[in-house]
Structure 1
Amino acid sequence: MRVAIAGAGAVGRSIAAELVGGDHQVMLIEREAGQFEPHTVEQAEWVLADACELASLEDAGLQLCDCVIAATGDDKVNLVVSLLAKTVFAVKRVVARVNDPSNEWLFTDAWGVDVAVSTPRVLAAMVEEAVSVGGLVQLLTLRQGQANLVEMTLPDDTPWAGRPVRDVKLPRDAALVTILRGGRVIVPQPDDPLEGGDELLFVASAHVEGEIRKALGH
């Protein structure tokens, strides 16, 4: 997969290093000469240019990328990059960094954003997930808010202990996708028994999250 990352600060470079490690082709676009440091991620292609300029993106070959990540520290820049990537260059997947949570409402498909990642919200969700037992915690928003990745940890004394997955009557727009148990990642099968302490990961529409709680007795 060919990925373009707008912004070669600490976040952009870290993402690039991870993707390069996964054998992806990565292009880092940076407009500030002071942050243009090809030696930090040598396997990536580096472009010194303004990612908000149409001509610069065209010269960089953005139209050849499968995914664009707008990872600058400026929300306005990330929105412009996302819009250009989606509407002008028809990039299939656009991921945008949200720096200020108050701007999160802007990061939708209207601006070309497929996935918006708000660091403060993700960190807050991780803290809540770590301390919450029996409650439903939203970890990630998918498909411009059409669905969420949510987590529920079953209490040690859950009445569901020993009962099979098939007994969980989930609403239509929800699916149990993974059970985390100790160090194991389990793809749930109908006959698999639940246990106290299981972390259940669901993909669900926001409007049915309450029904998931009811289905599991919370």
Structure 2
Amino acid sequence: MRVAIAGAGAVGRSIARELIRSEHHVMLLERKLEHVEPDVLPEALWVHADACELALLEAAKLESYDVMIAATGDDKANIVVSLLAKTEFAVRRVVARVNDPRNEWLFDESWGVDVAVSTPRMLASLVEEAVSVGDLVRLMTFRQGQANLVEITLSDDTPLAGKPVRKIQLPRDAALVTILRGGRVIVPQPDDPIEGGDELLFVASHEVEDELREAVGVRRLS
């Protein structure tokens, strides 16, 4: 997969390093010359360019890339990069970093963003996930499809204990994708039994989250 990353700061470099380890082709776009350091990550293609400049993106052949990651520390720049990548270069997948949670509402499909990643929001979700048993925790939003990755940790005395997965009557726009049980990651099959303490990961639209709570027998916590 070919991935372009706007912003070669600590975040951009860390993302690039992980993608290279997975054998993806990575291009780093950085507007500050002093931050262009090919020796730090020689496997990446380094380009000294402002990713908000259309002509420079054309020169970098952005249209040949599968994914654009807008990872700068400036939300305005990330929005512009996302919009250019999607509308001018038809990049299939655009992921944008949200630095200020107050700007999160901007990062949607109207600005070319498929997935918005807010570090404060993710940290808050992880805290909620660690302490919330018996309620739904939203972990990530997939903007293009208006769906969320959500987690529900079942209580030890859940009425679902011992019942097979097929007995969960899920709403139409929800799907159970994974069961986390101790150190195991279980791809759920219809006859797999549910156990108390299971962490259930669903992809679901926002509109059916209350129906999803009802389906697994949990209530919204105040």
Both structures adopt the same fold (TM-score exceeding 0.5): yes
- SS of 1:104's equivalent in the other structure is helix
Gaps of 5+ in 1: none
Aligned to 1:105: 105
Separation in 1 of the partners of 2:50 and 2:206? 37
Which is further off, 170-179 or 35-44? 35-44
Q: Counterparts in 2 of 1:54-93, with a 5 A limit?
A: 54-93=54-93
Establish whether residue 169 from structure 1 lines up as the match of residue 169 from structure 2: yes
Find the residue that maps to 2:127 and give its secondary structure: helix
- Runs of 4+ deviating beyond 2 Å: none
RMSD between aligned alpha carbons?
A: 1.0
Distance 2:153 2:106 in 1: 32
Question: What is the CA-CA distance between 1:144 and the residue it aligns to?
Answer: 3.7
Letter in 2 for 1:134: G
Partner residue of 1:157?
Answer: 157
Residue by residue over 1:61-118, the C-alpha shift from the partner in whole angstroms, topping out at 9 and shown as x without a partner, is: 1111111000000000001111111111111111110111111111111111111111
Q: Which residue of 2 aligns with 1:40?
A: 40
* Secondary structure class of the residue paired with 2:172: coil
Give the Cα separation in 2 of the matches to 1:41 and 1:163: 50
Q: Is 1:128–2:128 an aligned residue pair?
A: yes
1:138 & 1:40 partners in 2: Cα distance?
36
Tell me the CA shift for residue 55 of structure 1.
1.1
Q: Which whole-Å CA distance do the structure 2 matches of 1:145 and 1:91 have between them? A: 16
User: Under a length normalisation based on structure 1, what TM-score does the superposition of the two structures give?
Assistant: 0.97
Deviations 1:167-189, CA, capped at 9 Å, x for gaps:
11111111111101111111111
In the TM superposition, residue 158 of structure 1 has moved relative to its aligned partner by 1.6
1:208 match: secondary structure: helix
Secondary structure at 1:39 match in 2: coil
SS in structure 2 at match of 1:41: coil
Shift of the 100–145 alpha-carbon distance from structure 1 to 2, 3 Å rule, reads: farther
Q: Percent identity?
A: 74
Aligned position for 2:185? 185
Q: CA deviation at 1:156?
A: 1.3
Q: Which amino acid aligns with 1:196?
A: G
Alpha-carbon offset, residue 145 of structure 1: 6.3
Residue by residue over 1:174-207, the C-alpha shift from the partner in whole angstroms, topping out at 9 and shown as x without a partner, is: 1111101111111111111001111000010101
CA distance in structure 2 between the partners assigned to 1:127 and 1:39 by the alignment: 37
Aligned partner letter, 2:114: D
SS of the residue corresponding to residue 39 of structure 2 reads helix
Aligned equivalents of 1:118, 1:56: Cα separation in 2: 27
Specify the code of the residue in structure 1 equivalent to 2:193.
P
Report how far residue 32 of structure 1 moved. 0.8
Secondary structure of residue in 2 paired with 1:38: coil
Contact 2:147 2:203 survives alignment (8 Å): yes
Contact (CA 8 Å) 2:116, 2:143: kept in 1 or not? no
Q: Which runs of 5+ in 2 are unaligned?
A: none
Contact 2:96 2:117 in 1 (8 A): yes
How many angstroms apart in 1 are the aligned matches of 2:75 and 2:177?
32
Scaled by the length of structure 2, what TM-score is found? Answer: 0.96
User: In the aligned structure 2, how far is the partner of 1:144 from the partner of 1:93?
Assistant: 9
User: How many residue pairs were aligned?
Assistant: 218
